[in-house]
């Protein structure tokens, strides 16, 4: 009998077999699509959340749903290693092949490519077809207007889906927001994005035109959704989980989607090594924990910690010390002013270090003046490193 393929996907941005807990977010995106198709204006929608909660998976699912409704849906992830402008143009051209044959949008996109229409995206030059131009704002505006007008005649639209928005420089972020606002009132342009929790503050600093941006949190999964995320992929393979086993994975993962996939993946591997199996047990979960912890200490935890400079390490050590001052009842969050006091500095002195840690995604501020680590279990890791130094 062939081996049971592992149905869990703990990789960054990998789509889980059971896409759960995001019905509200998907419904909002669907509302935007139907509003624009009906000729109404619609909010820009930005999903914010910590790393590892599934924002990328959500945005790609939305892209696929828009595309299934014959929209030109372009997904771009802002990363230093990827040319954003090339990604936008390449995706736009490839998307033409998936549009309805004979649609005005498809014809317009292909004609643009054949004629060498310029395309500048967020401050860098590129062309669809080979001709580069200098004015990024004007060029992208004109390209999007042309495509939106063609889509409008088909009763469809254009969806610009941008991930990791917080990575854009403030000037380019402001330019992008203004461009979208200029087009969206009378054209079917859906702007949907994703970013870390400090994205609203960054956009507010970059531009005053934020009244028509809707921020939607993308949080950890509820216990019920977490159980579905673990049980449903196994059920597809005719494998079940003992109730106590799935309860333990849900407890260990604390609703963090990446952890759910990682614990489930490694538990499946333990069960697979037993031979042919149809049930996953609590013993399998217990046997998987050391490998999960090894991967986290070397990968997620270790890689983030090892990137820290001396002042950043000093800051997170002070933060962990305050959180574990009462070992029987560790605190999930602390005041930034208390960290500064523990370091013998003023909050203003600590501000650059604190902001750098927030922008890296290592810590975040759930409420004004409060700080907590962004990943479950990272406090224990930092505390251990503090004791080893």
Same domain as 319, residue 260: no
Residue at which a domain ends, from 265, 298, 331: 298
Same domain as 236, residue 195: no
Say how far apart CA 280 and CA 240 lie, in whole Å. Answer: 6
The answer to the question of residue 15 being in a domain is: no
So what's the pLDDT on residue 129?
A: 43
The answer to the question of residue 290 being in a domain is: yes
Label residue 262 exposed, middle or buried (CB < 10 Å: 0-12, 13-18, 19+).
buried
Residues in Cβ contact with 33 at an 8 Å cutoff, skipping those fewer than 6 apart? 65, 66, 69, 71, 157, 159, 190
**What is the SS3 string spanning 39-89?**
CCCCCEEEEECCCCCCHHHHHHHHHHHHHHCCCEEEEEECCCCCCHHHHHH
The answer to the question of residue 276 being in a domain is: yes
- Could you list the beta-strand ranges (E) of the chain: 44-48, 72-77, 158-163, 189-195, 213-217, 240-241, 279-280, 334-335, 363-364, 370-373
The answer to the question of residue 230 being in a domain is: yes
Residue at which a domain ends, from 266, 298, 330: 298
So what's the pLDDT on residue 105?
A: 72
Structure tokens of 229? Answer: 């995320």
Please state the separation of Cα 67 from the chain's center in Å: 20
Total domains present in the chain: 3
Nearest CA among 263, 264, 256, 270 for reference residue 236? 264
Same domain as 88, residue 147: yes
Same domain as 77, residue 143: yes
So what's the pLDDT on residue 310?
A: 95
Say how far apart CA 272 and CA 284 lie, in whole Å. Answer: 10
CATH classification of the domain holding 348: 1.10.10.10
Q: Is the pTM of this model over 0.75?
A: yes
Domain of 56? Answer: 23-217
Say how far apart CA 77 and CA 161 lie, in whole Å. Answer: 8
So what's the pLDDT on residue 210?
A: 72
Say how far apart CA 81 and CA 302 lie, in whole Å. Answer: 22
Nearest CA among 261, 197, 256 for reference residue 221? 256
CATH classification of the domain holding 203: 3.40.50.300
Strands ordered across the beta sheet of 363-364: 334-335, 370-373, 363-364
The answer to the question of residue 196 being in a domain is: yes
Same domain as 294, residue 180: no
Whole-number Cα distances in Å, 287 to 263, 290, 294: 11, 7, 12
So what's the pLDDT on residue 211?
A: 66
The answer to the question of residue 8 being in a domain is: no
So what's the pLDDT on residue 2?
A: 55
Same domain as 183, residue 63: yes
DSSP string spanning 230-248? HHHHHHHTT-EE-HHHHHH
Say how far apart CA 7 and CA 189 lie, in whole Å. Answer: 36
Please state the separation of Cα 329 from the chain's center in Å: 32
Same domain as 329, residue 287: no
Q: Which residue has the tokens 């969806």?
A: 159
Q: What pLDDT, in 10s, does the model give residues 186-231?
A: 899 999 999 999 999 899 888 876 767 899 999 999 999 999 999 9
Label residue 40 exposed, middle or buried (CB < 10 Å: 0-12, 13-18, 19+).
exposed
Which mean pLDDT values do the consecutive 10-residue runs of the chain (389 residues) have?
81 88 96 95 94 94 94 83 54 62 70 53 40 52 82 90 89 84 89 94 82 88 97 96 98 95 97 92 98 94 94 96 88 95 96 94 93 93 82
Same domain as 103, residue 80: yes
Crossing angle for the helix pair 136-153 and 104-115, nearest 10 degrees?
150
Same domain as 122, residue 39: yes
So what's the pLDDT on residue 106?
A: 72
So what's the pLDDT on residue 378?
A: 94
Say how far apart CA 325 and CA 289 lie, in whole Å. Answer: 27
Nearest CA among 311, 382, 353 for reference residue 373? 382
So what's the pLDDT on residue 87?
A: 53
Same domain as 128, residue 27: yes
So what's the pLDDT on residue 97?
A: 61
So what's the pLDDT on residue 86?
A: 55
Helix (H) or strand (E) holding 338: helix 336-342
Say how far apart CA 107 and CA 272 lie, in whole Å. Answer: 51
Same domain as 331, residue 252: no
Residue at which a domain ends, from 164, 183, 217: 217
Backbone angles phi, psi at 372, to 5 degrees: -150, 160
Same domain as 381, residue 266: no
Say how far apart CA 16 and CA 171 lie, in whole Å. Answer: 35
Residues in Cβ contact with 289 at an 8 Å cutoff, skipping those fewer than 6 apart? 252, 263
């Amino acid at each position: 009998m062939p081996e049971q393929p592992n149905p869990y996907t703990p990789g960054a941005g990998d789509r889980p077999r059971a896409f759960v807990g995001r019905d509200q977010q998907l419904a909002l995106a669907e509302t935007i699509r139907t509003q624009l198709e009906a000729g109404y204006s619609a909010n820009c929608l930005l999903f914010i959340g910590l790393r590892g909660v599934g924002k990328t998976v959500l945005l790609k699912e939305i892209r696929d749903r828009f595309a299934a409704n014959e929209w030109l849906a372009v997904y771009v992830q802002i990363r230093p290693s990827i040319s954003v402008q090339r990604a936008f143009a390449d995706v736009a051209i490839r998307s033409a092949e998936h549009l309805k044959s004979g649609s005005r949008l498809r014809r317009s996109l292909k004609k643009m490519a054949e004629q060498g229409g310029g395309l500048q995206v967020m401050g860098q030059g590129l062309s669809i077809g080979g001709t580069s131009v200098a004015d990024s704002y004007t060029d992208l505006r004109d390209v999007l207007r042309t495509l939106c007008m063609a889509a409008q005649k088909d009763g469809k639209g254009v969806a610009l889906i941008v991930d990791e928005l917080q990575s854009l420089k403030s000037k380019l972020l402001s330019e992008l927001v203004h461009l979208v606002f200029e087009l969206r009132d009378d054209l079917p342009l859906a702007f949907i994005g994703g970013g870390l929790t400090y994205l609203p503050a960054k956009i507010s600093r970059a531009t005053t035109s934020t009244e028509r941006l809707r921020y939607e949190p993308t949080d950890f999964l509820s216990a019920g959704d977490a159980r579905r995320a673990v049980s449903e992929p196994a059920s597809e393979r005719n494998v079940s989980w003992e109730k106590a086993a799935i309860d333990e994975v849900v407890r260990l993962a604390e609703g963090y989607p990446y952890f759910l996939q990682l614990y489930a993946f490694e538990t499946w591997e333990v069960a697979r090594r037993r031979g042919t199996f149809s049930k996953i047990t609590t013993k399998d979960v217990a046997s998987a924990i050391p490998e999960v912890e090894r991967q986290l200490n070397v990968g997620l935890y270790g890689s983030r910690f090892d990137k820290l400079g001396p002042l950043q390490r000093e800051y997170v050590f002070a933060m962990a010390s305050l959180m574990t001052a009462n070992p029987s009842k560790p605190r999930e969050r602390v005041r930034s002013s208390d960290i500064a006091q523990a370091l013998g500095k003023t909050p203003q002195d600590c501000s650059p270090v604190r902001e750098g840690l927030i922008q890296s995604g290592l810590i975040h501020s759930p409420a004004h003046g409060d700080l907590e680590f962004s990943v479950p279990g990272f406090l224990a890791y930092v505390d251990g490193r503090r004791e080893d130094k």
